[in-house]
């Protein structure tokens, strides 16, 4: 974003690597939807923490007699899916609500649906998948109680995350349908190129700073989308 210094992920200043994204829910998200965005962000953090805990569970799984590949895959899940889930489904819904973007809503629905399916498969705990799920945990309750107890928190958290993801998907879908959103709107944004420039999009729904350059955002509250679904969780 022009004029804004990236602040996420928060990295120590002594590192040469700098944050990749600018994120400010308080300033960029309409006030009536800040709680929803914060909850989705919290869900991402819980999922990432679960993947961290899964590495520990897979070490216990390996020590109890399973394959070393489960530990290797658990590291792959953590390194790959923790950052990719932020980029691939949290950022789209953040940008969708920030700028009333049908294209980003559709991107979120498609990717997040696949995430829910993946989380459900992870809950199962299939062997050689590198995830401590129900099948693996129950099996070790019969053969190695200590390993099963270490694996159980990951299994419970994965189950919780899957349920919460499904609830978020339903909630966001109701939110989007409340503004009359559709696939046709997403195709129009794609064809016009407004999906990648919030300033162009805001020309129809809000006020833009005439001195702004680059990808500026619509000024709230003038451009707050008229979402009609105000029901709670």
What is the DSSP code (8-state) at residue 89?
A: I
**For residue 179, what pLDDT is reported?**
65
Mean pLDDT of the chain: 80
Give whole-number Cα distances, 143 to 60, 66, 111, 146, in Å: 13, 12, 38, 9
Q: Which of 58-62, 172-176, 198-202 has the lowest mean pLDDT?
A: 198-202
**For residue 119, what pLDDT is reported?**
94
- What is the average per-residue pLDDT within 193-212? 43
Structure tokens at 172: 């966001």
- What is the average per-residue pLDDT within 126-136? 89
Q: What residues does each domain of the chain span?
A: 34-190
- For the segment 76-86, what is each residue's pLDDT rounded down to a tens digit? 999 999 999 99
H-helix or E-strand spanning residue 1: none
């Amino acid at each position: 974003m022009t004029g804004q210094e990236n602040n996420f992920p928060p990295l120590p200043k002594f590192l040469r690597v700098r944050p990749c994204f600018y994120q400010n829910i308080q300033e960029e998200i309409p006030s009536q939807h800040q709680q929803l965005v914060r909850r989705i962000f919290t869900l991402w953090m819980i999922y990432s923490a679960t993947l961290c805990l899964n590495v520990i569970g897979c070490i216990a799984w390996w020590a109890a007699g399973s394959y070393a590949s489960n530990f290797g895959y658990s590291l792959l899940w953590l390194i790959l899916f923790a950052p990719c889930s932020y980029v691939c489904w949290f950022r789209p819904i953040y940008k969708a609500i920030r700028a009333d973007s049908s294209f980003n809503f559709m991107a979120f629905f498609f990717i997040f649906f696949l995430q829910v399916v993946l989380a459900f498969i992870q809950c199962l705990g299939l062997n050689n998948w590198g995830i401590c799920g129900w099948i693996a945990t129950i099996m070790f309750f019969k053969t190695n109680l200590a390993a099963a107890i270490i694996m159980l928190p990951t299994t419970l958290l994965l189950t919780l995350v899957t349920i919460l993801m499904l609830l978020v998907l339903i909630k966001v879908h109701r939110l989007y349908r409340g503004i009359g959103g559709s696939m046709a709107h997403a195709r129009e944004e794609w064809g016009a190129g407004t999906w990648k420039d919030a300033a162009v999009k805001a020309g129809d729904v809000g006020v833009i700073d005439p001195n702004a350059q680059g990808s500026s955002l619509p000024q709230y509250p003038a451009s707050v989308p008229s979402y009609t679904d105000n029901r709670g969780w």
